[in-house]
Amino acid sequence: MPKWLRKSFVILVTILTFGMVTPSQDFLYNNVNNHKPPKRDAFESDSVEKLNETSSEESNLEEIVSARDQFIQSMMKEAEEQSYKKFGPRIKPVIEDEFKKIILPNIERAIATVASQYPKEELSRLEITEVPGGGTSEKIFHIVDSQTKKDLIRFHVRRDHPPLEGYWFNFHYHTHHDNFQAHHHLGSIYWDKNTPPNWERV
């Protein structure tokens, strides 16, 4: 029934009965609320909008996480390659298993920390140095900002010789936050009582 016709009917009944008979409450309620959107519809509309906003935010977060994961995976592949270059054919076979089990997961955590400090669009600026230090040099690899050419984090290995304990390889890293002063321990791998050979020169 058209709106104007309903209103006219209500007015006509009121005039004819002089207030003695009133339209039913259901009729009045339906007439008044006929053109208001039901609260449930409004709630569902809000829910859909919020769901869309949440989906969009989740999608953006997934993209960021994906970019960081790809960066970390790429860095880890290079980190492992640079490490094995440094170890060379004489040291690598002896310590490779422990290196994979103990040291690499800690290197990954350190790289993830670096990645978390940069927006995803800037991660492509970060790269690993290509030449590990040979001889007795501690350098395994550094992560540098390709634009500024400054080191951000340096991964090193030092040969330790505690009294009566033989030789150990002490893996650690330094960061630019304190001008590379503090040693952040990654783990140690026992070598032997005999002096280990020098690191491979690349």
145-155 burial: b if 16+ Cβ within 10 Å, else e: eeeeeeebbbb
DSSP string of 151-185?
Answer: EEEEEEEEEE--TTT-EEEEEEEEEGGGTT-S-EE
Confirm if 85 and 134 have CB atoms less than 8 A apart.
no
Which tokens belong to 130?
């290509």
pTM of the model: 0.69
Alpha helices in the chain (DSSP H): 3-17, 25-33, 39-98, 104-116
141-185 pLDDT, tens per residue?
999 999 999 999 999 999 999 988 899 999 999 999 999 999 999
Determine how β-strand 167-175 pairs with β-strand 150-160: antiparallel
80-104 pLDDT, tens per residue?
999 999 999 999 999 999 999 999 9
Of the two residues 133 and 16, the one the predictor is more confident about is 133
62-76 pLDDT, tens per residue?
665 688 899 999 999
Report in angstroms the alpha-carbon separations of 132 from 40, 49, 85, 104, 200: 66, 53, 7, 16, 9
Nearest to 175 by CA among 151, 158, 146: 151
- DSSP letter assigned to residue 37: P
Nearest to 184 by CA among 176, 175, 172, 170: 172
Q: Name the percent of the chain lying above pLDDT 70.
A: 68
